[in-house]
Amino acid sequence: MVQDYKQLQIWKRSMDLAVKLYRLTKKFPKSETYNLISQLRRAVTSISANITEGASRSTRKDFSRFLNQAYSSLKEIECLIILSNKLKYLQNEDFEPLEQEIDQIGRMIWKFREKIKS
């Protein structure tokens, strides 16, 4: 479907988000290694992985389905960072920019999905 998924802004931004979250979760309590940290990391890597997989599909419908999965993973992350902030694992100075980035990526995925569908 897409020649080079690495040129897509949504892929680049989702990779940057993954790097940020990996770095931030290093500061979380060790007791969260197999819970919150693991779940956040799996969800954030799922975004770029789904964009990659969708871009390699041969139909727009398939690509759109994978973009839906990427969007769902992004929303999962949104919920988990809110929890992380409430638990004081994620401070406001880290939380607020993440929340804004998630919102922007979500809008990008949604618009790109609509473009793919039409």
Domain boundaries, the chain: 5-117
The per-residue pLDDT for range 23-37, each reduced to its tens digit, is: 999 999 999 999 999
Q: For residues 104 and 19, give the distance between their C-alpha atoms in angstroms, rounded to a whole number.
A: 17
pLDDT of residue 104: 98
Q: What is the pTM of this model?
A: 0.94
From residue 29, how far is each of 18, 39, 84 by CA, in Å?
19, 14, 11
CATH code, 5-117 = 1.20.1440.60
Q: For residues 17 and 25, give the distance between their C-alpha atoms in angstroms, rounded to a whole number.
A: 12
pLDDT of residue 97: 97
Low-confidence ranges of the chain (pLDDT < 50): none
Contacts for 113 with CB less than 8 Å, ≥ 6 apart: 64, 67, 68, 71
pLDDT of residue 52: 96
